[in-house]
Amino acid sequence: MNTFFDVVSAVLIIAGATVALIAAIGVVALRDARSAMHAAAKPASLGVLLCGSGAVLQLDDLSSVSKLVVVVIIQFVTAPVGAHMLSHGVSSDTDSSDDTYN
């Protein structure tokens, strides 16, 4: 059973790191700031969820597990709000005023 948890945890953590790497490539490859935000907002929730659920299988005491759940929940609440505020600020700048979706 312990080996099973280890394998599931390894798969989840490698998946989370791969999502983060793909998103990082997207941040560099996409030209506009708002297009890059489309890529950058993914690991903020999905990557943290995958890495957190991989790490929670390795923890054994209740205080660590509850702390990790709080981390993931706070990330899920604040990341979309922060990205929305940032997109609102970026879309009002003068450099992207010639975009089609302004």
Q: Structure tokens of 26? A: 């997207």
CB nearer other proteins, residue 63 or residue 100: 63
**Interaction residues for other proteins, span 25-44 (CB under 8 A):** 25, 27-28, 33, 36-37, 39-40, 43-44
Rounded to whole angstroms, how far apart are CA atoms 40 and 11? 22
> Does residue 1 bind other proteins (CB under 8 A)?
no
Q: Structure tokens of 30? A: 């996409």
* Contact pattern for other proteins over residues 80 through 99, marking x by CB under 8 A: -xxx-xx-xxx-xxxxx---
Using alpha carbons only, give the angle 48, 60, 64 rounded to the nearest 5 degrees.
50
> Does residue 8 bind other proteins (CB under 8 A)?
no
